[in-house]
Structure 1
Amino acid sequence: MISPLVFISLAFILYTFSIFYERKIGHLEIWLVVVFTLGFLCDLVGTSLMFCLAQVKFRLVLHSIAGYTALLIMFCHLVWAMLAIRKIKNFQYLFTRFSIYAWGIWLLAFVSGIPKVSLLILSWLS
């Protein structure tokens, strides 16, 4: 079985690329939404594999809360991108403006999964 870390790392690469490239050019293109979708699917598969491999299924810790929240935000962000690419209202402008915040929340979940970083974040919050 492929490690969940492979899928989560691919999600990081694809999601980060799509967000920052869209910011660089200032608008969404269909191929960027495809890259974004692949990033979301990698995150979904990686998260599902981690859930299946976990010994304790529902532990309320920073990483699991951030991870599930980030997955939900990433899904909403993907729907938003699909609306923006269809040029519905001012979704494009708002997508460009706020996507970095959605990415930042996702990044918190990504980074909190790195054990030493998780301990550092928890020590800051204490």
Structure 2
Amino acid sequence: MNFKLILAIITITLALVFYTIGVFSERKAKRLKSAHVIFFLLGLVCDTTGTTIMSFIAKANSSSFGIHGITGLIAILLMLFHAVWAIIVLRKNNEEMQRNFHKFSIVVWLIWLIPYFIGMFMGMNI
């Protein structure tokens, strides 16, 4: 395994860890807090970094964009929207928005898992 691939795997796995901590700690608290947003942003940064590294590897190997690339792009865009929406919810400080935000978080997290597992299964064939 080359260094770029190891780095990509580590950063994408860190994205899973950070995003999972953010989503489930926010769900447990039943109220969005600044710490949750920080975990969402850390997950987004790690996922974007890992995905960028993986795209360089794929281009070098002449891989096509495919379902993994499409679902990965959707997941990153959703994570970005989720983080921005979290910041808006925090700033508005609306009780109902605070209480219901975790429902959106879990949906984004579940969608994010799709490209994560697709990539993991694709990697098993390498």
**Band of TM-score, shorter chain:** 0.7 to 0.9
- The equivalent of 1:78 in structure 2 is 83
SS at match of 2:99: helix
The runs of at least 4 aligned residues of structure 1 exceeding 3 Å deviation read 88-91, 116-119
Q: Which runs of 5+ in 2 are unaligned?
A: none
Flag the 1:53–1:116 CA change in 2: closer, same or farther, 3 A.
Answer: closer
- Residue deviations 1:7-43, cap 9 Å, x none? 0000000001100110001011112211211111000
Structure with the bigger percentage of helix: 2
Tell me the amino acid that sits aligned with residue 98 of structure 2: Q
In 1, distance between residues paired with 2:36 and 2:86?
9
Question: 2:57 is matched with which residue: 53, 58, 72?
Answer: 53
TM score, norm. by length of structure 1: 0.83
Aligned residues: 118
Q: Which runs of 5+ in 1 are unaligned?
A: 120-126
In 2, distance between residues paired with 1:97 and 1:5?
28
In 2, distance between residues paired with 1:50 and 1:91?
36
- Percent of residue pairs identical: 36
| Residues 30 and 98, structure 2, Cα contact 8 Å, conserved in 1 | no
